[in-house]
Amino acid sequence: MYREEIKVLDCTIRDGGLINNHYFTDEFVRAVFKGVSDAGIDYIEMGYRSSREFAPPSDFGDWKYCDDEAILRVTDGIESDTKISIMVDAHRMLDQVFKPVDESPVDLVRVATYVKDIDKAIAAVNMCHDLGYETCVNIMAISAENEFELVEALSQVAKSPVSTVCVVDSYGYFFSEQIHHMMELYKKHLPDKRIGMHCHNNQQLAFANTIEGIRYDANLVDGSLYGIGRGAGNCPLELLIGFLKNPKFSIEPILKVIQNYMIPMRQELEWGYMIPYAITGSLNEHPRAAIAVRKTENKDKYVEFYSEIFDHLD
Amino acid sequence: MYREEIKVLDCTIRDGGLINNHYFTDEFVRAVFKGVSDAGIDYIEMGYRSSREFAPPSDFGDWKYCDDEAILRVTDGIESDTKISIMVDAHRMLDQVFKPVDESPVDLVRVATYVKDIDKAIAAVNMCHDLGYETCVNIMAISAENEFELVEALSQVAKSPVSTVCVVDSYGYFFSEQIHHMMELYKKHLPDKRIGMHCHNNQQLAFANTIEGIRYDANLVDGSLYGIGRGAGNCPLELLIGFLKNPKFSIEPILKVIQNYMIPMRQELEWGYMIPYAITGSLNEHPRAAIAVRKTENKDKYVEFYSEIFDHLD
């Protein structure tokens, strides 16, 4: 699949940081930045810019805040055409500092939001847009939202200056026909916006669904190295690059970071396909119960876990 | 997705056996048979019925031969409506013994073949059909076949008494549009046959592609417990059952076998998504080089492996 407009965003550090409270070493972040840059990836998402009021520094690493200084520290000296993205939560905007874009290493601000917080998301978009940043809205958990209200939110976002809106399958619930439906819905209600795609791998459908998004005109697609991300993780970047027949990408730098960093890291941090995530995904539930059970000695008691989740739905 | 005609075949013992030369214990095979039966799965494939001339018993376990006696031994005393399938290789038919169907526990014989051996496959179908067995042809490696010759083979099979023909993505290469294309091709040239689907997970697309097959009328679909199978493995049965909203299936017996047997077994036997399989899959190559490298100390040297495979294609 080749289409010049398709841009790829690596969310290794950002979504991976949800597993370890954003405590990645500078060495690792530099290696990812260099690998992703050498591979020709369009964007790299470094983490969140969170308020230290909401998220005390005693509990989180640097990539929870993504201060400009931290970003400059890990990108310094590395040749790169890759744009830098950070994420903010619409409902947790408080005292974060944003300089004008030409004084910051950041290019893109992605605003994560729920449907109910769409006004806050648009306020954040307006603020960042006025400072010169490219902006994007990620409406989360849409598989469990009321579609009437989702459409209302999309219609509001349509009038904002945001350039991109991502279809986000937070629960890893969608399969192809539902991705097609969402793409058509987003295109219809956001006629002037670029549509993006961020998938989760609860049912091993993250890569497949990203492909389906691309088939239906998604032009900003997320992947992460070896699929790292909270719970079942994301669309593996290496698969995405193999699929996109764009000569501007090269896969070797990505394979190098995977073999040198991701494989050893997978011994320490857990992510990827596991039965509890398959269960919450197939039942269209938030993965939080699955994430919790994986930290207990009952982590492989699947029948028990299934009963609990299923009974809770009754 | 609910369609009464959709039948599910569990190939845990058969495709899983390719990892360990078919040395599964009776205890394990009985547990799988019981779990799959309790879950309401339509078919279980026990292994191959190979010639002991071609495959000496010193090198293989019982499930390489699937003698009627071995099958009766592991199914004895277990209540089940699940039909029993075995596989034969069309190009390795020699002295295998097949009793008439009413003297055997076997219901279905699946004939695996390459396009070039289609005459041998049809001969095996005729022999088994005459003995009263349900029959199926699995044409392997079709992503690397000449489509003109594939169509010729399908047209020959169309005239045979076989009841089902499976689309088999041996290399784990296809994505949705190619599955749709193959389904249309098979339906066109096999107007009176049931079409099936057997996918591999090299690019994490086995479940997604099985869904795409179902969307395009595949009515016999393969899955295996926790996706066990050679190399990257197969479509995970647990995901398939979660997707098919057929009340005749229950997932708990499957989860039970996974937690009791597959998770411990995964510590001993290797299968599932790994970078070398992603590489051969995305390059439309047989996974044999990936399987081989995983048995060496270079198993995680992905850049080197990629260069080797890529240079070999030059």
Domain boundary among A268, A287, A304: A268
SS3 of residue A165 by DSSP: strand
For chain A, 314 residues long, give each residue's pLDDT as a single digit of tens: 789 999 999 999 999 999 999 999 999 999 999 999 999 999 999 999 999 999 999 999 999 999 999 999 999 999 999 999 999 999 999 999 999 999 999 999 999 999 999 999 999 999 999 999 999 999 999 999 999 999 999 999 999 999 999 999 999 999 999 999 999 999 999 999 999 999 999 999 999 999 999 999 999 999 999 999 999 999 999 999 999 989 999 999 999 999 999 999 999 999 999 999 999 999 999 999 999 999 999 999 999 999 999 887 76
In a domain? residue B68: yes
Both B255 and B233 in one domain: the answer is: yes
Q: Are residues A259 and A279 in the same domain?
A: no
Radius of gyration of chain A (CA): 18
Q: What is the pLDDT of residue B270?
A: 97
Alpha carbon distance, N-terminus to C-terminus of chain A? 43
B166 and B187 fall within a common domain: yes
Determine contact, residues B63/B13, Cβ cutoff 8 Å. Answer: yes
CB contact under 8 A, B255 and A306: yes
| Whole-number pLDDT of residue B1 | 72
- Which residues on chain A are in Cβ contact (under 8 Å) with B313? none
The shortest CB-CB distance from B208 to any of A176, A226, A275 is to: A176
Q: Which domain holds residue A207?
A: 7-268
Which positions in chain A have a beta carbon within 8 angstroms of at least one beta carbon in chain B? 175-177, 201, 203-209, 211-212, 215, 226, 236, 238-239, 242-243, 251-252, 255-256, 258-259, 263, 272-273, 275, 278-279, 282-283, 300-303, 306-307
Q: What angle do CA A178, A232, A154 make, to 5 degrees?
A: 40
C-alpha to C-alpha distance for A168 and A165, rounded to whole angstroms: 9
Q: Are both B300 and B217 inside the same structural domain? A: no
Cβ contacts of A279 on chain B, cutoff 8 Å: 242
Shortest CA gap B226–chain A (Å): 8
CB B219 within 8 A of CB A236: no
Considering only CA atoms, which of A203, A168, A200 is closest in space to residue A274? Answer: A203
Residue B303: its chain A contacts at CB < 8 A? 252, 255-256, 259
**Residues paired with residue B182 on neighbouring β-strands, in sequence order:** none
- Residue of chain A nearest B173, judged by CA positions: A243
pTM of the entire structure?
Answer: 0.97
Q: What is the token pair recorded at A12?
A: 């290794």
Residue A110 is classified by DSSP as: E
Q: Is A226 helix (H, G, I), strand (E, B) or coil?
A: helix
Q: Is residue A2 part of a domain?
A: no
Residues A160 and A305 grouped into a single domain:
no
Tell whether B2 is covered by a domain.
Answer: no
One domain, residues A185 and A301: no
Task: Report chain B residues whose CB lies below 8 A from the CB of A283.
Answer: 242
> How many Cβ atoms from other residues are within 10 Å of residue A62's Cβ?
22
* ipTM value: 0.96
State the best of B255, B282, B293, B297 to mutate against chain A, taking most chain A CBs within 10 Å.
B255
Mean pLDDT by 10 residues, chain B (314 residues): 92 98 98 98 98 97 98 98 98 96 98 98 98 98 97 98 98 98 98 98 98 98 98 98 94 98 97 98 96 97 95 76
Rounded to an integer, what distance in angstroms lies between the CA atom of residue B170 and that of residue B201? 9
The tally of domains found in chain A comes to 2
Q: What is the pLDDT of residues A102-143, one digit of tens each?
A: 999 999 999 999 999 999 999 999 999 999 999 999 999 999
Q: Do A52 and A4 form a contact (C-beta atoms < 8 A)?
A: no
The alpha carbon of residue A269 is apart from the nearest alpha carbon of chain B, in Å, by 17
- Give B244's Cβ-side CA count (13 Å radius): 32
A149 and A286 co-located in one domain: no
What's the CA gap between A235 and A227, in Å, rounded?
5
* Contact flag A239-B204 (C-beta cutoff 8 Å): yes
Query: B301 and B153, same structural domain?
Result: no
Which positions in chain B have a beta carbon within 8 angstroms of at least one beta carbon in chain A? Answer: 175-177, 201, 203-209, 211-212, 215, 226, 236, 238-239, 242-243, 251-252, 255-256, 258-259, 263, 272-273, 275, 278-279, 282-283, 300-303, 306-307
Q: Are residues A282 and A263 in the same domain?
A: no
Contact assessment for residue A213 and residue A185, using Cβ atoms and an 8 Å cutoff? no
B44 in any annotated domain: yes
User: Which residue of B lies nearest to A243 if distances are taken between CA atoms?
Assistant: B282
Secondary structure (H, E, C), chain B: CCCCCCEEEECHHHHHCCCCCCCCCHHHHHHHHHHHHHCCCCEEEEEECCCCCCCCCCCCCHHHCCCHHHHHHHHCCCCCCCEEEEEEEHHHCCCCCCCCHHHCCCCEEEEEECHHHHHHHHHHHHHHHHCCCEEEEEECCHHHCCHHHHHHHHHHHHCCCCCEEEEEECCCCCCHHHHHHHHHHHHHHCCCCEEEEEEECCCCCHHHHHHHHHHCCCCEEEEEHHHCCCCCCECEHHHHHHHCCCCCCCCHHHHHHHHHHHHHHHHHCCCCCCHHHHHHHHCCCCCHHHHHHCCCCCCCCHHHHHHHHHHHHC
Q: Are residues B122 and B171 in the same domain?
A: yes
Closest-approach residue (CA) in chain A for B310: A252
Q: What is the pLDDT of residue A60?
A: 98
Q: Which bin fits B22, alpha (ψ -120 to 50), beta or left (φ > 0)? A: left
**CATH number of the domain to which A155 belongs:** 3.20.20.70
pLDDT confidence of residue A245: 86
Task: Give how far A161 is from chain B: nearest CA, Å.
Answer: 35
Which residues of A are less than 8 Å from B258 in CB distance? 275, 302
Q: Do A275 and B255 touch (CB under 8 A)?
A: yes
Does residue A255 sit in the same domain as residue A283?
no
Based on the fold, state whether residues A257 and A280 are members of the same structural domain: no
